[in-house]
Amino acid sequence: QKEVEQDPGPLSVPEGAIVSLNCTYSNSAFQYFMWYRQYSRKGPELLMYTYSSGNKEDGRFTAQVDKSSKYISLFIRDSQPSDSATYLCAMSETSYDKVIFGPGTSLSVIP
């Protein structure tokens, strides 16, 4: 079993839709949870960061962590064509430790 699992997609939605992206993990020691966005042929960029359980909101993006279920989610409201990218979840045990990435979900937002 991989440490971090993520549905690769591709996921295609119409503009304005609410998008839900999810990851599951097996290591209960993970405490830091990140979401990265990667445009085609570019490096990943940090989108959201959450420590431990709970929700975090930033504009149209909401990150949720459920440590009891070992499940994290990223919600995108009012999705835009510019949101079309690959979304990678990532996790770490400490703030100074190595980061483990999921394989990424490819998202296309159709105008």
- CB 99 → another protein: shortest distance, Å? 7
Beta carbons of 34 and 91 less than 8 angstroms apart: yes
- Nearest to another protein of 34, 109 (CB atom): 34
- CB 98 → another protein: shortest distance, Å? 5
- Nearest to another protein of 14, 43 (CB atom): 43
Beta carbons of 22 and 104 less than 8 angstroms apart: no
- Nearest to another protein of 34, 107 (CB atom): 34
Query: b/e per residue, 1-38, with b = 16+ CB within 10 A?
Result: eeebbbeeeeeebeeeeebebbbbbeeeebbbbbbbbb
Cα–Cα dist 8/16, whole Å:
22
Which string of x and - marks every residue 25-54 that binds another protein (by CB under 8 A)?
Answer: -------x-x------xxxxxx--x-----
Q: Number of residues in contact with another protein, rule: CB under 8 A?
A: 25
Stretch touching another protein by CB under 8 A, among 12-20, 56-64, 76-84, 90-98: 90-98
Task: Using CB atoms within 10 Å of the CB of residue 101, give its burial: 0 to 12 exposed, 13 to 18 middle, 19+ buried.
Answer: middle
Binding stretches for another protein (CB under 8 A): 6, 8, 32, 34, 41-46, 49, 88, 90, 92, 94-104
